[in-house]
Structures are given as C-alpha cells and as structure tokens.
Amino acid sequence: MSEILDRQRAIVDDFSLFEDWMSRYEYIIDLGKKLEPLDEKYKTRENLVEGCVSQAWIVADLRDGKLHYRGDGDAIITKGLLYLLLQVVNDLSPEEITDAQIDFVKDIGLTTHLSPSRTNGLIAMIQRIKEIANKYKN
C-alpha cells in the first residue's frame, strides 16, 4: 500500500511546483501527450469508461501477478488525467489497487478546479480501474 501512497505523494509534490491553475492545466495537457495511444481494437464499448463526458477507454492485463493498465481518451485533458491515474496504479497487484485510496486528485485540488462533468469523469475512471482490478483478484 505504501507504494501507492508514495506515487501519489510524488504527484502532489510535482503539482506543488506550479503557482497557478493555468500552469497545472498546461502540465496535465503535457502529460496527456505522453500517454501511449491505445490501439483502435481496444476502443470498444466494453472498455469505454461510463460517466465520462469525453470518451475514455481503459484496459489492463495481468503480468506476473501485477496489473498493467493502458488507456486513451478523445480529449487532451482526459488523457492527462488518465496518465496521472495510471502512474499511481500501474504494475501493482489487483489487491493493492482495489484496497487503495486514490486521494491525490483531491490533494492537488483537481476536484475543485475541474468542471463537475470532468470531476465525474475522473471519478468514473478511478472506479473503472478498480473494477478491472477486482476482476483479477484471487
């Protein structure tokens, strides 16, 4: 569990370097550009995150007991948010992911600075990540 906490603290520390929200949004956009595009074959209804205003897809596979997530979105902010989430949960056990409190979004102020629809989408992405992990739990 401490690995997830450490990863979240690192994100909070990164965001603390920015003085204003415009700079933070630019950073999120830059992160979205780093997200590897998801192959079109995975952009299916089954992998679509319900509750996002823009479209977002999340898939994962289990490798040596650890989940590796991939995702994509059709909006650059969504891609940046997804990139952040995947930095927290990637390559951890399904149990670690389902048990985790993913608080960094609140700690960096995302829930108060995003529009309500983007916040709902972010919550939906977190729920989808946990649903996938739950399917792989022993």
Structural contact between residues 36 and 73, judged by C-beta atoms closer than 8 angstroms: no
d(CA 79, CA 85): 10
Structural contact between residues 56 and 77, judged by C-beta atoms closer than 8 angstroms: no
Q: Residue 77 corresponds to which tokens in the numbers above?
A: 């902010």
**DSSP letter for each residue of 61-110:** EEETTEEEEEEEESSHHHHHHHHHHHHHHTTB-HHHHHH----HHHHTTH
- Helix, coil or strand: residue 58: strand
Active-site residues: which are they? 52
Q: Residue 1 corresponds to which tokens in the numbers above?
A: 């569990």
